[in-house]
Amino acid sequence: MENKAVIGILAIILGILILFFPFSSQLALSVVVGIGILILGIHLLVVGANFWVISKGASIAYVILGIISIILGFMLLGNILLFDLLFGLYLYIVGFVMMVAGIIGLVSRAVPITKGSAGMMLILGLLTLILGVFAIEDPLYVAIILGIALIIDGIAIATVDKFKN
């Protein structure tokens, strides 16, 4: 079995676990994401300290971003509601960008995408915005969205090589 198939199967299993145990899965995800952002913040502080000789402006920006990341990382540790809020905001931003790209594709002749794909982008952006509304309203929806997305991605990753031939 190849690495892609193993990763796909793990994503499917993780998606199923998230669907069956939504709140404990979200707690675990908020801890993992919090730790990841903490590590990123520490890394940015180190990079900022090393950049001081090269560029003081970049160094200050890295340090500020590192401090913000560390604070956010600590805030996310075990905080399901903040995790859900940030996930919902992420869906809002992605949905808005997709809708704008779809509108630009529909009204502009300079964009090299077809009208059909631009319309699809607009529809997917609207659906993503709707998912963002659900995600912010109830934490259970975040678990459902993440679980289904992981199952679909897992199936796609596990079977991608079978459809190439």
pLDDT digits (tens, 9 = 90+) for 23-42: 888 888 888 889 999 999 99
Q: Is pLDDT above 70 for 1?
A: no
- Residue 162 in any domain: the answer is no
Domain that holds residue 65: 3-157
- Residue 36 in any domain: the answer is yes
Burial state string for 56-69 with b = 16 or more CB within 10 A and e = fewer than 16: eeebeebbebbeeb
- Number of compact structural domains in the chain: 1
Q: Quick one: pLDDT at residue 86?
A: 85
- Residue 130 in any domain: the answer is yes
Question: Where would I find the H helices in 1-55?
Answer: 3-20, 22-51
**Furthest CA-CA distance within the chain:** 53
Q: Is pLDDT above 60 for 110?
A: no
- Residue 128 in any domain: the answer is yes
With 0-12 CB in 10 A as exposed, 13-18 as middle and 19+ as buried, what is 75? middle
pLDDT tens digits for 73-91? Answer: 999 888 888 888 888 788 7
Of residues 3 and 115, more confidence is placed in: 3
| Residue with token string 């969205």 | 145
- Residue 21 in any domain: the answer is yes
Q: Percentage of residues in the chain with pLDDT exceeding 90?
A: 12
Contact status, residue 154 vs residue 12, Cβ threshold 8 Å: yes
- Residue 76 in any domain: the answer is yes
- Residue 165 in any domain: the answer is no
pLDDT tens digits for 113-155? Answer: 566 777 777 787 788 788 778 777 777 777 888 788 888 888 8
- Residue 112 in any domain: the answer is yes
Arithmetic mean of pLDDT, 57-75: 90
Average pLDDT for the chain: 80
The model carries a pTM of 0.66
